[in-house]
Structure 1
Amino acid sequence: MAALWKLGLTALFLAVLIGRHVRLGWVMVLGSFFLGFLFHLAPFAIVGSMWAGLKAWETINLLLILGLVMLLENFLTEKELMQRMVERARAAFRDPRLALAALPAFIGLLPSAGGAVFSCPMVEQVGSPLGLSRERKAYINYWYRHLFEYWLPLYQAVVLAAGILAVPTGSLIRHMWPFTLFACLVGAVVAFRGLPSAELTAVAAPAGEQLAVWGRFLREAWPVLLIVMLVLVFNLNVALSVGAVLGLLLILHRYPLRRLPRLLQTLMGNDIMASVAAIMAFRGVLLATGAVEAMPGIFAALGVPPLLAVLGIPFCAGLLMGSSVGYIGVSFPLIQGLLTLGGALNLRWAALAYAAGQAGFMLSPLHLCFPLSVDYFRAAMGRVWTWVALSEAGVMALGIALYALA
């Protein structure tokens, strides 16, 4: 029980700092020491845990991906390639609402935190003419960015969950794909409610020209499509794939070498990289406390029913870890016994457990896509978070109705 109130106190501490508009990087650094002191870690142990989080390959790879994606975005914007891609998408999807949802979902085919940065300018260009608020654009970018994370085997968490449960990945996917449909439906209600029909005038070409319009869109979107193919078909690292496509674009456009320093300077004027590093340092301290592993014992001591434990443990792990692989790796081994009834694995409950972990992940302050989206649009974090929380409640209600009550 002590771990629970300590984590709650740390969450309150972080919320107070964020509410006072302290920069996210400093919030996570201060939060690391606050959390460590609550769990009686010595100062050197806290620093060592922060360093362990920073030097982990996961952190290095994440920073590489984020930096390269930001460089790619800046290049596409500088050459007006992004603008042409958005214009083609608006015509191809006929309805700007479909374009708004489809563009971040399209980027979501890449399991990269930097994808949130990549899709932000697309949502901005399509959403601004509709008069959407900053908060609504941030919500659309964040929510639809994660549509496919429930079942797409490109995401490591999906494969990891199947491996832990010792079931074929396809068997698990067949129970998890409905959550993508639920997310689409709930997201549409939240994102596009109350928009006057006059603001939704289609900008599409006539139906007979749609094939040509789609061809033009695909010609503009080839850099993103190539990245997806390199990752999905050839199983290349996301950082390598983005770097290769960026290098190819520089060659094809004969980008002057003397302008490369100017392109690189765009990273220096942005504190997102520092914020990401601080988040991963905090995660290192969190892992060192053993708080996440203590959650099952807390639920057992409170006499929580099995289904609530199946939902609650992944949810808390997702909330605490801010990582899909993290919440699967921590929670699924702990709830595997609860998922096995009479010697048979209950895949319906397994799908609910995955969705519950995803809900915690989407609400976690450590989930990088959330601050990236909110910061880009300069949106009110509390309002966007509330919309996400209501949306996740809707998705889980539909999931429970399908798999627990049916």
Structure 2
Amino acid sequence: MDILKLMIVFGVLVVMLWLKRPLYQGILGAAAAVCILFGIAPAEAFNTALLSVTGRGTLSVLLVFYLITFLQRMLEKRDFLNLAQASLNGIFNNRRINASLAPVFIGLLPSAGAVIICGDIVENSVGPYLSPEEKTFVTSYFRHIPESFLPTYTSIIIAISLTGGRVSVSSFLVGMLPLVFLLAYLGYLFCLRKIPKDTGMPPSMDKRGDIRSLCRSLWSIALAIGLIIGAGMPVYAAVACSIVLSVFINKFTFSELKPMFLSAVESKIVTSTICIMIFKDIMASTGVIESLPGAFERLPVPGFLVFAMIFFFGTIISGSQAIIVLCMPLAFAAEPKAGLALFLLLMGMTYAAMQISPTHVCLAIVSEYFGVGMGALIRKTLPVIFVFAVLLIGYYVLLSHVFGL
């Protein structure tokens, strides 16, 4: 019965997006459907929403968005994003590399706001050769590849800690490498190859100068990433450090910075983010996630596929962290001999599901940036995710049955 209710909830969301309603309206409609179908009283729903809006998690996400957007405004003011694109042109002279490598690099920054910077670079790199929907896909897809394997992301750190020592960070990184290359190749196969390699510019005669220009244009992002990975600094603190240093190094005046304090507030992004957080918390309060294992266990399929489906559909419903915390211990308890192979399968499914989940904040941000509906982005992403999921299952069978991992 819970599965049917969930289908109705997401049916409401899909219909509202299909009717071209703003994302926040679709999310609120889905949240209202959850309250009606699961019998959540208005007072309880209001309290949950209030706690969600004022919660540290939501406020920290909004702060990170604000700081990332502020940093983006500074980069735009000094024309550093165009300089980065020109530098990549000089180094590689290849539109495809510009459109994919820059989002991958910026994706090392574990913040949804970073997708805005990626969007700028992709827009300038691909020009008229891709449709707005395809630009949205390229930006979102390549920006999130680092999220599949980097242990700087909270979900990966939490997941590894829940395996009871059966999976280490190093083994996870090594095991993910083939999947990372697979993701990059699928992105090229489905979309990137449509872009001509030629940038229309002659090859650079000063590649060292181009490398220096690239460093000059993106050092603030690289610094933030380094502080997060190397010093374990929170994202908001690392980005704030980059902003402060950039003020002095790039010689910003107060008159230049003043309008950025207001322009860094993206009202659509703030509204969508708050609504998504409310929806996730209301959904979590129903306890429906805990019922998913029982529903899938009745299916006549192998155990690893049961958990693969739980993680895939559970992530679409509630996001990656919730399903990892609730179901990773369950998976490893149910499969006593499970190790790296099962972990890679479940994390791969979680990653794949996040790329088409309406609860994924980044999808809302990048869709708003390019002015396309989230439904269009999900439709463009689905075929790639389907192929990845099928090959991921084959990878699991290879690792578990041939290599015994």
With structure 2 as the length reference, what TM-score do the two structures score? 0.92
Q: Aligned runs of 1:374-393 on 2, under 5 Å?
A: 374-393=367-386
- Deviation per CA, 1:103-127: give whole Å up to 9, x if none: 1101110111111112111111111
Corresponding residue for 2:102?
Answer: 103
Judged with a 3 Å threshold, the aligned counterparts in structure 2 of structure 1 residues 204 and 307 are, in CA distance, closer, same or farther, namely farther
Matching residue within 309, 314, 338 for 1:317: 314
Q: 2:361 aligns to what?
A: 368
Q: What is the rounded CA distance, in whole Å, between the counterparts of 1:168 and 1:402 in structure 2?
A: 19
Deviation readout 1:356-396 (Å, 9 max, x if unpaired): 11111111001111121122112354343122111111212
- The aligned residue for residue 160 of structure 1 is 158
Residue 273 of structure 1 pairs with residue 266 of structure 2: no
Structure 1's consecutive aligned runs of 4 or more residues displaced over 6 angstroms after TM superposition are none
Q: Is residue 31–residue 282 contact of structure 1 (8 Å, CA) maintained in 2? A: yes
- What displacement does 1:295 show? 0.6
Q: 1:169 to 1:211 in 2, by over 3 A?
A: same
Matched, 1:359 2:357: no
- The corresponding residue for 2:233 is 236
Deviations 1:258-303 (A, max 9, x none): 4544212214463211110111011110110111111101112334
- Per-residue deviation, 1:201: 4.4
Identify the residue that residue 53 of structure 1 maps to in structure 2.
52
Bigger drift between 347-356 and 251-260 goes to 251-260
Aligned to 1:174: 174
Tell me the equivalent position of 1:248: 245
Secondary structure at the aligned position of 2:289 is classed as: coil
SS in structure 2 of the partner of residue 6 of structure 1: helix
Matched, 1:12 2:8: no
1:323-338 correspondence to structure 2 within 5 Å: 324-338=320-334
Match of residue 191 from structure 1: 191
Looking at structure 1, the residues matched to 295 and 170 of structure 2 have their Cα atoms a distance apart, in angstroms, of 33
CA contact (8 A) 1:95 1:204 kept: no
CA distance in 2, matches of 1:397, 1:239: 37
Letter in 2 for 1:275: S
User: What is the aligned counterpart of 2:136 among 135, 138, 143?
Assistant: 138
CA distance in 1, matches of 2:40, 2:191: 44
**In structure 2, how many angstroms separate the alpha carbons of the residues matched to 1:268 and 1:118?**
15
The answer on whether the counterparts of 1:161 and 1:332 sit within 8 Å (CA) in structure 2 is yes
Contact 2:318 2:359 in 1 (8 A): yes
Deviations 1:192-232 (A, max 9, x none): 2444x5x63464635x7434322321122111111111111
Mapped partners of 2:7, 2:329: distance in 1: 24
Give the 3 Å change call, closer, same or farther, for CA 269–39 of structure 1 in structure 2.
same
Distance in 1 between residues matched to 2:238 and 2:278, nearest whole Å: 26
Q: Distance in 2 between matches of 1:263 and 1:243?
A: 14
Give the conservation status (yes or no) of the 8 Å contact 1:53–1:282.
no
Q: In the comparison of the two structures, how many residue pairs are matched?
A: 397
> Could you tell me how far apart the structure 2 residues matched to 1:240 and 1:394 are?
38
- After superposition, the CA RMSD in angstroms is 2.0
Indicate the residue corresponding to 1:346 in structure 2. 339
Equivalent runs, 1:61-140 vs 2, <5 Å: 61-128=60-127, 130-140=128-138
Q: Is the 8 A contact 1:32 1:46 kept in 2?
A: no
Asked whether the equivalents of residues 140 and 363 of structure 2 are also in contact (C-alpha less than 8 Å), the reply is yes
Q: 1:23 to 1:338 in 2, by over 3 A?
A: same
Where structure 1 has 5 or more consecutive residues not aligned to the other structure, the ranges are none
* 1:401 matched to 2:394: yes
For residues 156 and 380 of structure 1, the distance between their equivalents in structure 2, rounded to whole angstroms, comes to: 28
Q: Amino acid of the residue matched to residue 392 of structure 1? A: I
In structure 2, distance between residues paired with 1:122 and 1:380: 20
Deviation at 1:354, TM superposition (A): 0.8
Q: How many Å apart are 1:100 and its aligned residue?
A: 0.5
Secondary structure at 1:109 match in 2: coil
- Contact preservation (8 Å) 2:93, 2:199: no
CA deviation after TM superposition for structure 1 residue 20, in Å: 1.9
- Between the aligned partners of 2:386 and 2:231, the Cα distance in structure 1 is 37
Distance (whole Å) between structure 2 residues aligned to residue 116 and residue 182 of structure 1: 21
Q: Which amino acid is 1:37 matched to? A: I
Q: Give the SS at the match of 2:231.
A: coil
CA deviation after TM superposition for structure 1 residue 240, in Å: 0.9
Which secondary structure does the structure 1 equivalent of 2:50 belong to?
A: helix
Q: State how far apart, in whole Å, the 2-side matches of 1:191 and 1:286 are.
A: 34
Deviations 1:1-28 (A, max 9, x none): x211111101011111112222222322
Cα drift, residue 325 of structure 1: 2.6
Q: Structure 1 residues 309 and 190, CA, compared in 2 at 3 Å: closer, same or farther?
A: same
- Decide which moves more: 213-222 or 180-189: 213-222
- Structure 2 unmatched runs, 5+: none
Question: 1:315: Cα distance to partner?
Answer: 0.5
